Structure 1
Amino acid sequence: MQSNPTPISLIIGLTGASGSLYGLHLLQALLTGVAGRSTLIVSPAAIRVFNQEFDTALENPLDLLRYATERALQAAGSSPSVLHDFDIADYRDIGARPASGSAPYHGMVICPCSMKTMAGIAAGYTSNLIERAADVTLKERRRLIVVPREAPYSLIHLRNMTALTEAGGIVLPASPAFYQKPQSFDDLGRFIAGRILALLGLSQNLFPAWEGETKAIQNP
């Protein structure tokens, strides 16, 4: 993972949608590739889904962060180091630091983002810290990226995505491309993590950029 020299501070939320793979690879990419300190917020439903999708027995957000850190260090190869630190905030604590616009975060990513969370943000109904932090991110005109994983979308889902986009958020569906010829599920996870980093203005080499194809023009 290519290092970004300027420290960055983000809010990372994981909610109870399928697609734990994408959130895991985002954490791994930040841990060993991006200098800074961020806040991690994990919903109880996210822990449950993560355990189902990875056959783990994690009990809390700290367990999840440790799991991601171990995987990140293994993937980084020889002499890896952690560049990014995380503070863990309680999902239920709507008075925590991410709930205030005076906290100088660069932006927020919710990956994966459940449709319940999307609906709460779109309606301005903040019942937990992830939704409150997203609401604050929008009102402060900071970058908010949400990664939904659902299929098919209902009209309600589409309208909520439209409302969030109109408010300044970015909807990045968990729809990896295949031009990089993925060989594993991890390749798909790295693709989405790389797209998130790019939208945050951070360098990444998790997957090669599409260079286009040049074909000779034949004279008729």
Structure 2
Amino acid sequence: MAREEETRVKLLGLWVSPFVRRVEWALKLKGVSYDYVEEDIVNKSPLLLELNPIHQKVPVMVHNGKVICESFVLLEYIDETWKHRPLLPQDPYDRATARFWALFVEEKLMKNAWIAIFSEGEEKEKAHKVAIEAVERIEEQLKGKRFFGGDDIGYLDLAVGWVSHMLPVWDEMGSTNILDPLRFPSTTSWITNFLGHPLIRDNLPPRDRMWDYFHRKREQIMASRASD
């Protein structure tokens, strides 16, 4: 019966999306099989608009006919539905702490790293400063640890996993050096450990393709700003 339920999972995603990637990692760590449907977020499919009419974005997961959206919600749903190989800590305080840091990294690091890469001048400098301050906080959380939760990959590692493979591309493209390995040795060590896990290493978007994707997006954004 468990295997039958697993085959009834469908995930709508986008290859480059860090939000989709974290959900895929969770499913793979749990050993849950699923059907993947690649979406074009510019020309959204009728299926995506039907399943997620409010936000109209990925990831969207369908399990036994039930639709679940938003990546953090999906991580918790996956963890609670397939209870083996827990992702969230068992202690309520530790669970709350993991959720706090997941939101912190999303709001402080991801948002400001994006602005720093796709802007210039004072706006870039301000966002760059906030992004580095966020990595300083991450560094404090990782000191003496292989992963955020200890010795194995958990919820927060998946939530922050985009830092390991996407932020270096952004850094290089924007000449920002947010993720300075000399300044942040614990974070750099975590990246090595995270990317060294076979289920993570074998399920990453191609770096060259990421570069091309974000380079085109940067050119479009910069050209749009120049014409305003």
Q: TM-score, normalised by structure 1?
A: 0.32
Q: TM-score, normalised by structure 2?
A: 0.31
| Greater length-normalized contact order (CA 8 Å, ≥ 6 residues apart) | 1
- Could you say which structure has the higher helix fraction? 2
